[in-house]
Amino acid sequence: MVSFAVVGVVTLFAVNPADASPASPKYQQKSGPYVVRGVDSAADRNRVGGTGASIDSIENGAATVTATPDEARQIERLGFSISRTRTEGFPAADSGYHDYAEMQAELDRAAKAYPKIMQKLSLGKSYEGRDLPLIKISDNVAKDEDEPEILYDAHQHAREHLTVEMALYLVRMFTEGYGKDPRITRLVDTREIWIVPDMNPDGGEYDLTGGKYHDWRKNRQPVGGGYKGVDLNRNWGYKFACCNGSSSSLSSETYHGPQAFSAPETQRLRDFVLSRRVGGVQQIKAAIDFHTYSELILWPYGYTMNTTAAGLGSDQQKTFSALGHAFARSNGYTPEQSSSLYITDGSIIDWLWATQGVWAFTFEMYPNSPSKGGFYPPASVIDAQTARNRDASLTLAEYADCAYRVIGKQQLCATAPSPR
């Protein structure tokens, strides 16, 4: 039986699910099933069916098909994203984590429960055609108000599933706490809060294939030579591939891609951030990029060991450090400049600061050692380790109006504009 369903989605950017011509993956010699994304019209259905593949169901532009390997390759050559279906989620012991469908369902429930303060929007599509959800929380959520804006993003790296839980925690914190917790209520009333819960849904889903972990870090974009994946946090457009802080090897875990913003996922978030420039002024004032693991708070720059550099003067460095140490007092992480960990180039926080003047931090979450789970801590830690960042996340939002207040130089907010 073929089923059809249409679900409305609020979308900020229209995107093509096939953002690049995909290289052929190595299909196993089976008849399927596969999932084909971007099947949005009768013409699309006919093109897929014309290959000889059997269309088993269609829902929200995704078709489940039974196909031979040759038919699957034909579908891919037509420009559709195609991959094997997965019926398994997290391993049973870690079922407390949210896979992609469960995350979307929780976000949908929250948007329905709190329509006056929360909107579920979209950045656009991932390489394989999955929606990249974007959450807005504010007291007049349907209105673009002249208020400081904060960005929290998660899951640039596929195997770092705890960061999705962190984003979902923030959604619950700001919605469920509104009208009950004075601190949260004040922030929702005076800020516009943006949350990107899943920057890398393709990699995250692949990491769970077969109900077991695959230690996958990158996205799932074909890059040539039979390899897949760009490290999203080396694909940003400031000091891209400059300083031996990423790799040009297609097989490397830190492969930066052929050029800055070659990954659809980084393009989508970049375009959103740039859309928040109003009258030439960036409205997003502060940001946290959540990762795992090591229990660290990192700030720019990652590309150089120097504590000051172009666009990062002494007062700015002191402000980053003071904020980082303030966060650390509540979550117990170690605060340090990003390059103190190791040199990275093409990172999101360097781009956010150097090109947009956003006070941007990376939080490397629990644990602090491989012995406690490494990239795959047990689900039993989710509640404690996400709540651990409650105060730091709120503190960032409180300083978004004038970060220099943390060093007692609030006059700089008016006299010393951040880099653009």
pLDDT, residue 21, reads 34
Q: What is the mean pLDDT of residues 246-274?
A: 96
pLDDT, residue 1, reads 38
- Provide the whole-model pTM: 0.80
pLDDT, residue 88, reads 56
pLDDT, residue 10, reads 35
Cα-only R_g, the chain: 21
pLDDT, residue 170, reads 98
Alpha helix positions (H), 177-280: 182-190, 201-207, 264-275
Helix/strand/coil for 304: coil
Domain residue ranges of the chain, discontinuous segments joined by +: 1-85, 94-415
Q: CA–CA separation, 82 vs 62, rounded Å? A: 10
Q: Of the given ranges (5-9, 113-117, 166-170, 280-284), which has the lowest mean pLDDT?
A: 5-9
* Average model confidence (pLDDT) across the chain: 88
Check 76, 147, 364, 398 and give the catalytic one.
364
41, pLDDT greater than 90: no
Element spanning 44, H or E: helix 42-49
Helix/strand/coil for 368: coil
Neighbours of 153 (CB within 10 A): 25
26, pLDDT greater than 50: no
Neighbours of 337 (CB within 10 A): 20
Q: CA–CA separation, 411 vs 405, rounded Å? A: 8
Alpha helix positions (H), 87-195: 100-113, 162-176, 182-190
Q: CA–CA separation, 153 vs 352, rounded Å? A: 12
Of 294 and 27, the structure prediction assigns the larger pLDDT to 294
6, pLDDT greater than 60: no
pLDDT, residue 333, reads 98
pLDDT, residue 341, reads 83
Q: For 394, phi and psi rounded to 5 degrees?
A: -70, -40
pLDDT, residue 32, reads 55
Neighbours of 370 (CB within 10 A): 10
From the number of C-beta atoms within 10 Å of its C-beta (0-12, 13-18, 19+), residue 135 rates as buried
pLDDT, residue 9, reads 33
143, pLDDT greater than 80: yes
Q: CA–CA separation, 296 vs 76, rounded Å? A: 41
pLDDT, residue 92, reads 83
pLDDT, residue 369, reads 86
Q: Of the given ranges (90-94, 219-223, 405-409), which has the lowest mean pLDDT?
A: 90-94
Residues 94-415, CATH architecture: 3-Layer(aba) Sandwich (3.40)
30, pLDDT greater than 70: no
Residue 172 tokens read as: 């619950």
Q: CA–CA separation, 348 vs 354, rounded Å? A: 10
405-411-417-418 Cα dihedral, nearest 10 degrees:
-20
Of 366 and 20, the structure prediction assigns the larger pLDDT to 366
Q: Please, which pLDDT band fits residue 419 given cuts at 50, 70 and 90? A: very low
**Are 217 and 157 a contacting pair, CB within 8 Å?**
yes
pLDDT, residue 19, reads 35
Tens-place pLDDT, residues 153-212: 999 999 999 999 999 999 999 999 999 999 999 999 999 999 999 999 999 999 998 888
pLDDT, residue 85, reads 61
Instruction: Tell me the percentage of the chain whose pLDDT exceeds 90.
Output: 72
pLDDT, residue 43, reads 83
Q: Please, which pLDDT band fits residue 63 given cuts at 50, 70 and 90? A: confident
| DSSP state string for 166-189 | HHHHHHHHHHHTTTTSHHHHHHHH
Q: CA–CA separation, 395 vs 407, rounded Å? A: 14
Helix/strand/coil for 370: helix
**Are 132 and 104 a contacting pair, CB within 8 Å?**
no
pLDDT, residue 56, reads 64
**Are 238 and 346 a contacting pair, CB within 8 Å?**
yes
**Are 289 and 232 a contacting pair, CB within 8 Å?**
no
pLDDT, residue 231, reads 96
Which one, of 352, 356, 375, lies nearest residue 364 by Cα?
A: 375
pLDDT, residue 72, reads 85
Asked if 265 is an active-site residue, the reply is no
Tens-place pLDDT, residues 79-88: 888 886 654 5
Look at the block and give the residue holding tokens 């007291």: 139
